[in-house]
């Protein structure tokens, strides 16, 4: 086990070098369905910090997206009329990402709605109340702080042993890195479980897609919106989950040489390709999914 002084030396060296990032691994435990609190899910989240800012994202989602992107680019280069996107074995349970820029900590939350990617401006900074309580978490000496944000009450344990005023998700602004973060209901908990220095990952690569190809949010520009604008888009999606796909089908169906085909399989394995049946099945699944995913990390954003 490296001493804290040695770890700190390598962290600072990584930032000074500029070509590497300090990667912090957070185990994220969350309860998506408040009606079934015994069902706790886990996801390994990464917080990459360099001299310009930080990126927070799911490890499994990043890997799955990278593989899917490579497969899609290969098919596009090969040409042909059919494009197939296969579901990954470990697609990741957390699809959102967060970026913060230094030194002003300008923060953006990246989320998807149907086939669109949104870049949401974070207009509120955490207002921390630092408390005297201290405790040892792993090898770090930490101190307690609390804040209200996004419709939840949060408790953070930060450590000045790691001199980054950053943390998981949209949280930052304490005198050291946040080691543990938990909401008052125990529904969402993030705890630091490791760190290392890595080469700068290509998290911001943009895929160049043909104008007539759009695949579930891959490629294209992020739609930059305020939180209020995102809430309106989310409400419209909840009310009509397949609207964007219907519009895409109608648009391309009227253009020469273009044809959009959606296929789904029912619970009994039957494949459906009739557009009306497909959309009914997709709307049913989406509403069932939303009903079970009723305990989001930031309730104010989707309620």
CATH number, domain of 118, equals: 2.50.20
SS3 182: strand
What's the total number of domains in the chain? 1
Measure the CA–CA gap between 199 and 176, rounded to whole angstroms: 23
Residue 282 domain flag: no
Residue 98 domain flag: yes
Closest CA to 98 of 114, 87, 109, 86: 109
Measure the CA–CA gap between 160 and 143, rounded to whole angstroms: 9
Least confident of 96-100, 196-200, 201-205: 201-205
Helix (H) or strand (E) holding 302: helix 299-302
pLDDT at residue 267, as a whole number: 65
pLDDT at residue 246, as a whole number: 74
The per-residue pLDDT for range 224-271, each reduced to its tens digit, is 999 999 999 999 999 888 887 777 766 655 444 455 556 666 666 667
Q: Which domain holds residue 139?
A: 4-226
**Block residue for tokens 């709307």:** 283
Question: Residue 73 CA to chain centroid, in angstroms?
Answer: 22
The per-residue pLDDT for range 41-70, each reduced to its tens digit, is 999 999 999 999 999 999 988 787 666 555
| pTM for this predicted structure | 0.79
Residue 86 domain flag: yes
Q: Which position has the higher pLDDT, 207 or 145?
A: 145
Residue 255 domain flag: no
pLDDT band at 286 (very low <50, low <70, confident <90, very high): confident
Burial of 301 (0-12, 13-18, 19+ CB in 10 A): middle
Residue 25 domain flag: yes
Determine what percent of the chain is predicted with pLDDT higher than 90: 53
Least confident of 13-27, 126-140, 224-238, 246-260: 246-260
Closest CA to 174 of 121, 105, 107, 97: 105
Residue 290 domain flag: no
Residue 183 domain flag: yes
CB within 8 Å of 265: residues ≥ 6 apart = 271, 272
Q: Which position has the higher pLDDT, 11 or 145?
A: 145
Structure tokens given for 41? 């899910």
SS3 271: strand
């Amino acid at each position: 086990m490296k001493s804290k002084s040695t770890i700190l030396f390598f962290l600072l060296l990584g930032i000074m070098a500029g070509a590497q990032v300090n990667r912090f691994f957070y185990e994220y435990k969350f309860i998506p369905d408040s009606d079934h609190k015994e069902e706790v899910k886990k996801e390994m989240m990464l917080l990459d910090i360099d001299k310009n800012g930080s990126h927070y994202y799911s490890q499994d989602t990043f890997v799955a997206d990278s593989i899917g992107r490579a497969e899609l680019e290969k098919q596009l280069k090969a040409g042909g009329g059919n494009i197939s996107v296969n579901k990954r074995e470990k697609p990741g349970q957390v699809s959102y990402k967060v970026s913060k820029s230094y030194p002003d900590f300008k923060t953006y939350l990246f989320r998807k709605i149907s086939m669109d990617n949104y870049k949401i401006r974070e207009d509120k900074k955490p207002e921390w109340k630092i408390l005297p309580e201290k405790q040892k978490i792993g090898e770090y000496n930490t101190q307690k702080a609390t804040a209200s944000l996004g419709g939840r009450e949060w408790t953070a344990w930060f450590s000045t042993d790691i001199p980054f005023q950053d943390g998981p998700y949209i949280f930052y602004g304490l005198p050291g890195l946040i080691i543990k973060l938990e909401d008052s209901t125990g529904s969402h908990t993030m705890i630091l479980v490791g760190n290392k220095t890595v080469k700068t990952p290509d998290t911001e690569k943009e895929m160049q897609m043909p104008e007539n190809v759009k695949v579930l949010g891959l490629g294209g520009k992020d739609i930059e919106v305020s939180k209020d604008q995102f809430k309106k888009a989310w409400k419209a999606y909840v009310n009509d989950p397949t609207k964007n796909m219907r519009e895409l089908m109608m648009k391309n169906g009227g253009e020469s040489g273009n044809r959009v085909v959606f296929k789904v399989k029912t619970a009994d394995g039957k494949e459906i390709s009739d557009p009306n049946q497909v959309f009914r099945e997709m709307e049913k699944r989406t509403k069932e999914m939303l009903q079970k995913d009723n305990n989001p990390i930031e309730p104010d954003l989707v309620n």
